[in-house]
Each structure stands twice: as C-alpha cells, then as structure tokens.
Chains A and B, each alone.
Chain A
Amino acid sequence: MGQIPTEHGLILAGLLFILGLVGLLVRRNVIFMLLAVEIMLNAAGLAFVAAGARWNQPDGQVMFIFVLTMAAAEVSVGLALVLLLYQEFKTLDADAASRLRD
C-alpha cells in the first residue's frame, strides 16, 4: 500500500468533525446527538493518528486509545442519562428537557 498523504487524513477528520457537529446541532433525538458526539470524537482521534503517522511517532495512536477509553466512559454515562431522561419525560427530545433555563 502506498503512503496516504497526511492532508487527506486531516481533511477526512475535518469533514467527519463537521458532520458530527452538524448532526449534534440539527438532531433533536438525544441518542442521535450522542452518536454525533461519537463521530466528533473519532474525527479528533483520526486527526491524532494522521499527525502521529506524519511524524513517525506512536504518540498519535496512544492518544487515540485514550480517546476510545474516554468515549466508552462518556457513552456509558450518556446512555444512563438518556434512560433517566426518558423515564422523566417519556420522550427523547433534547429540547423538551430545558428546565435548567430558570
């Protein structure tokens, strides 16, 4: 396999991040929002990996493992919150849970 240029990796990561961000902003379903956050995290991870490959350092991959671990923790907490949200509001609409306003 030939060498993939670093720019390609970074552009892909940027596209994925924007995709995730747009998903986070436009979806109202909490589960989809969590998914979007996952995409953004992975985009950041991809950027780490691409940068690590550029400098021939293992650090990028090490960081990605950290990101994965963190993402797992985030999802477990997030899903627990989603369950509670559903029990409370009987809906998964994030805009319905706006009681913190006051």
Chain B
Amino acid sequence: MLDLLWLIPALPCAGFVVLVMVGSRLSRPIAASLGVISVGLSAAVALLVGVDFIWFWPENIYAQRLWTWIAVDRFTPAIGFSLDALSLVMILVVSVVGFLILLYSAGFMIRSEGYSRFFAYMNLFVGSMLTLVMADNLLLLYLGWEGVGLCSYLLIGFWYSDPANGRAAIKAFIVTRVGDASMAVGIFLIFVSLGTLQIQDAVQRAQITWAVGSGTAIAASALLLGGALGKSAQLPLQTWLPDAMAGPTPVSALIHAATMVTAGVYLIARTHVLFTLAPPVLTAIAVIGAITLLIAGVSALTQHDIKRVLAYSTISQVGYMFLALGVGAWSAAVFHFVTHACFKALLFLCAGVVIQGLDEEHNMFKMGGLRRLIPGTFWCFLVGAASLSALPIVTAGFYSKDLILMEAWSSQAGGGWLWLAGLAGAFLTSMYAFRMVFLTFFGEAKATFHKRADITMKIPLVILSALSIVTGLIETPRSLGNITFFSDFMESVLPELPARALNAAVEISVPLASVIGLYLAYLLFLRRRGWTERISGTPAGSLLHAYWFSGWGFDWLYDRLIVMPFVRAANWNKEDVIDLGYGAIAWVSTVSSMALALTQTGKIRWYAAAIALGALLFMGIVVLG
C-alpha cells in the first residue's frame, strides 16, 4: 500500500492538468466533481497509506524515490517523497480538510464565473501543498513552497475584474516573496555548507558539522525562519494575510486552514534540528510568535469585516504555533496546527454561508439575529468559535492551546513572559471569537437572508464541527485522562520536552482566561453595547481603535518605508540613468553614420579615388612603419 504514496500529490495535480486543458468545455457539475473527486481520492489514498504506515511498517520512515530530477556533479536532487509521522499528519490534514473545502466550494461557487478555473487552481493548491509536506529534499520542498505561493496569488485575485483584488493578490505574492528569497538563500547556504539537500542527510550532517550556536547554524536557520515568517504571516511579514480576504471564502479557508500559512510551521518542525543548533533563532521564534499573537489578537478585536477577524485570528493562532516551536514544543505546535485546521476551516466556511446569504455583506455590525434564521450554521459556527477560544473540556482547541501554554511554562527555553503573553492571547482570542458570534448571530436581525446552504455545503460543515470537537482527544493533559497518543506517535520525528512539574494555578489559568474572555465579550457586545461605544467614543479610545483597526499601522509603515521611496526612485529614474550610457553609444554611431553618408556621392570616380588613396595610405604605413 505504501508504494501508492506518490499518488497523493499526483492526483490533485492530474485534476489540475485536466481542468486546465479541457475545463472550460466541461459542464459545471463535471468540472466540480473532477476537482472534488481527485482531491477526495487523494485523501482516501492518504488514509490507506496512513493506516498501512502506522500498523504495518516497521520503521519510522518510508522513502520513495521516483526519479532523479537534476544531476550535476554532487548536486542530484530527486523527485522523491518521504513519509514519517510529521508528514503523515500534514498529509492527512491537508488532503482531508482540502477535500471538505472543495466539496463545499462545489455548492458555494456554483453561480460564480470561472467555475472550472477555480477548481483547477484549488487542485493545484492542494497538490503543491502535498508536494511541500512530502518532499524528501529541500529543492522539491521549495517547488511546492513556490507552487503554494503562486496558487495563493491566483486565487486571491480570482475575481480579477476588481482591481482591488488584483492588488491584494500582488501584495500577498510580493510580501511572501521577501520571505521566499530569504529561504532560497538559506537553502543555498545549507547546500554549500553540508553538501546535500536531502533533508534527512542534511540534518544528520548538520549535527556533526555545526557547533551549537555557530555562525553558519544561526545564519542558515535564520534564513529559513525568514521564509517561514513570510508564508506563515508572522511579524514583520504578516501584512498580506488580512488583504488576502479578497479571494472567495473557500480560498481563505484553504489558505488559512490546510495550506499556505502552516507551511512555515511545517518547515520549522521539519528542520527543527537545525534550529536547536541555533538557540538565539529559537528564542527569536518564540518572541516573534508571542508578539504576533498579541498584536493580531488585539487587531481582530476591532475589525468590522467578519473575514478580517478570522484573518487576524489566523495570524494569532499561527503565532501560538511559532511560540510552541520557539520553546521546543514541536509536537504541541503540530497538534495545534491539526486542531486549528479543523476549526478555522469550519469558521471560514460558516462565514461563507453567512456572507453569501446576506448578499456579500461582510460587516458584522449589519448582521445580527441570524441564530434563528440559520440555526444549523449557527451551531457549527458556535462550535468553531468555542474551539478557537479554547473553551475547556469540550473543544479541540482547548487541548492544543493548553498544551502549548503548559510547555511554554515548563520548557527550558520558555518562561513566565512567554506564558503570560500566550495567556493574554487566549483571553483575547475568546473575546474576539465571541464578539463575532454575538454580533453576527445574536441581537435583532438587521438584514434578510437570501440563499441557504445546499447539501454539499452542509456536509463539510457537519464533519468539520465533529472534527473540531474530537481531534482534541488524541492528546490530553495529565489531569484530564493523560492520553498521549499524538505525542507518542510524533516522538519518532519530534522529540518531546522533558516534563516539568506544573502547579495547579498554571493548569487552571487557560480555561479561566477563555471563560473570562467569553463573559467580557458577552458584556461588551451583547448585554451592554453602550459601554463599548462609550469606550471607543473617547478621543484616546477612537485613536487606539483606528490604530488597531489598521493592524498596528504596519501597512502605513511599509508604505512610507519601502513602497514610497521605491516609487519615488522609480519616478526619478524614469529616464533610466544607466540607459544614458547606451544612448550615448547610439548617438555617436548615428552622428558618424550621417558624416560618412556625406561621402556617398554616387560618383564612381570619387570612389575609385578613395580606394586609390586608401591603398596609398596603407602602403605608406607598411613601407614607412
């Protein structure tokens, strides 16, 4: 069964090829089923392979080398896939959640133009992400990485007739490109220093060659971190993600839940040995994660647009994953990735139902009272929001977030401040999550609801709701059952932290923070709306609101710091300074050609005289010289 591994990325890619070639000639149901089924089959193969790998494969890793991609001297990257616990988890999440999102899109996009184009891009997106997580060498990983970036560009700008969408797409592409360039240099450095791009070999050689804290180790891991920051939308490259909401809602779900933003988390987890050789970089990851999760959490609290709230919440949750990675809690980060994929996909898909039903209304303040109109979507959204805000015991998000915070507390690299930041983040998370719920689904109805979800949209919602609850049960804290299935499974790839004694106050603080956040959201956004208006009505309050609403002014800063100087330099250089040199050459030859043209009299005797003179000249040179 394991030799079917290559089919997992190949099926979505094949679906992409077929859809691109003949998609426009296919009818809508056929195009949709082609896209959905190819990813569905890929998910099925992934499940079969996973079962086979867990129960019947004796080793920790299964490698499949298809063919040599390039062969230049020692540089021989292959098209090869490797399967271990980490990639298996990634594959399962990407293919299953991807399949559910595609199934939902079949109903969601039914009235949109470019139906088959949409499925082609989505298939390529899933295919690229699967290539990324299965690649056994860094070059193939980079191929998937760039494929994901390309698809995000194509899909964010899917409705390209609006220039704003095109701008958002370009912004996403360029900002992630900054990170990608850094990552490419990192890969070059690894190849030059270690002589291989095979991830397993590189990791083993690095442990021998690089000393802990040596310059090369720090440079290489910092460069890889740059790539991860770009893709995962962490500080300071987070600005593209809120604008990426320009794409269709299923695209946002796919970018946020299964693909793209988690690529950075995967990259760091995959090469975590390199990072452990560079402790300062690890500390930087933890600090960046902590700051990002706070900044994004506060921004999420001020947004009007339901999708932008979710976007900032993704930045914040990925910040948690980075925090976990930074303190060395690798498997906790991957665990949070799994639960986050489920509940964030669920939240986006529910938001899609709401937005579509209200005629593309994104503003939460114009919604309200939807609880009675679409009870099914309401309950699904409630499950997602509860999981996002880590409500204790019943939600998956609780177990993963709790694990991260506990490890942040107990790890050698962690500490009180990181833990406190995470705790504040948990409080913010449940506050903005339930602000969203209360504004959208409670209160009096302000708009009429037009389009209800059809069956292909309902099934994914129900499955994802179930997943948002039960995936937490694969790993529970010691005080609650002490199930360690997930971390045991990951241990072959990602070493566990030595456990440290926890005190009860730490254990109780996460559920407490999320419940307090919920209650505060209830007070401020449902019970006593006047309070909120009074706070944001004061000059300081409105200023702070505007500042947070704009995402802490990062866009403004980057505009001033990078975009505007660049535009000014481009304007100044409109005449192309360097071209002046080439222009001079052209000018000289034009002028001399005009001068020489004067000698062209058409009189043959002049020509003969010129020839004679020339001959005389050369003879003189030869004789005298």
Q: What A residues does B600 contact at CB under 8 A?
A: 100-101
Q: Is B504 an interface residue (CB 8 A)?
A: no
Q: Which of B593-608 contact A (CB under 8 A)?
A: 600-605, 608
Q: What A residues does B602 contact at CB under 8 A?
A: 97-102
Cross-chain contact A98 with B603 (CB below 8 angstroms): yes
Q: What B residues does A28 contact at CB under 8 A?
A: 605
Q: Is A47 an interface residue (CB 8 A)?
A: no
Q: What A residues does B603 contact at CB under 8 A?
A: 94-95, 98
The secondary-structure label for the interface of chain A is helix
Contact with B along A55-94 (1 / 0, CB 8 A): 0000000000000000000000000000000000000001
Q: How many residues of B contact A (CB 8 A)?
A: 9
Q: Which of B106-128 contact A (CB under 8 A)?
A: none
Cβ distance A94 to chain B, nearest Cβ, rounded Å? 5
Partner of B605, one of A94, A101, A102: A94
Instruction: Tell me how many residue pairs across A and B have CB atoms closer than 8 Å.
Output: 30
Q: Is B609 an interface residue (CB 8 A)?
A: yes
Q: How far is the CA of A35 from the CA of B601 in the complex (A)?
A: 23
Q: What B residues does A25 contact at CB under 8 A?
A: 605, 608-609, 612
A27, closest chain B residue (CB):
B605
Cross-chain contact A95 with B612 (CB below 8 angstroms): no
Cross-chain contact B601 with A98 (CB below 8 angstroms): yes
Cross-chain contact B601 with A21 (CB below 8 angstroms): no
Q: What A residues does B612 contact at CB under 8 A?
A: 21, 25
Q: How far is the CA of A99 from the CA of B604 in the complex (A)?
A: 11
A100, closest chain B residue (CB):
B602
Q: Which of A3-59 contact B (CB under 8 A)?
A: 21, 24-25, 28, 33
Q: What B residues does A95 contact at CB under 8 A?
A: 603-605
Q: How far is the CA of A67 from the CA of B602 in the complex (A)?
A: 28
Beyond A21-B612, A94-B604, A98-B603, 4 additional contacts (C-beta under 8 Å) are A24-B605, A99-B602, A100-B600, A101-B601
| 6 A-B pairs (CB sep. < 8 Å) | A24-B605, A33-B605, A95-B604, A97-B604, A99-B602, A100-B600
The 10 closest A-B pairs by CB, nearest first: A98-B602, A101-B602, A100-B602, A94-B604, A98-B603, A24-B608, A95-B603, A25-B609, A25-B605, A21-B612
**Which residues of A does B touch, CB under 8 Å?**
21, 24-25, 28, 33, 94-95, 97-102
